[in-house]
Amino acid sequence: MTDYDDVRYCCSGADVCLDCWPLMTAAIKVIDTTLRDDFGFNHILWVFSGRRGVHCWVCDGKARRLSNEQRAAIAEYFHLYQGNENSRKKISLTGPVLHPFLARSYTEVLKDSFESQLL
């Protein structure tokens, strides 16, 4: 969970409260939908581990046979943050049109619950 301290408004560090769960649920929904729809994976296991939050294991045979470079490319597909520990982190939403991953994440996955759970 410490990786999400920049966006959590309730807790920090290893602490998890009832307000953290909607954030984790939103992340799971976005990542799960994208892994299924954009990459064609079907066998996905989600596990909550406590301090480190939720983890995703993609169990499809084709996922297990990916090279490290291919795995890194999938992880990069989800990358929105710019910056590092020495500079302020920002989400990059530049460009004339949002990437389809971002547009779908909001319109098809998050829109219905965003205002009621996160605002």
Res. 76: pLDDT tops 80: yes
Q: Which of 1-10, 12-21, 39-48 has the highest mean pLDDT?
A: 39-48
Confidence of residue 2 (pLDDT cuts 50, 70, 90): low
Q: Where does the pLDDT of residue 92 fall: very low under 50, low under 70, confident under 90, or very high at 90 and above?
A: low
Stronger pLDDT, 32 or 84, i.e. the higher one: 32
Per-residue pLDDT tens for 53-69? 889 999 999 999 999 99
Amino acid sitting at position 27: A
Query: 30-56 in b/e burial notation, b at 16+ Cβ within 10 A?
Result: bbbbbbeeeeebeebeeeeeeeebeee
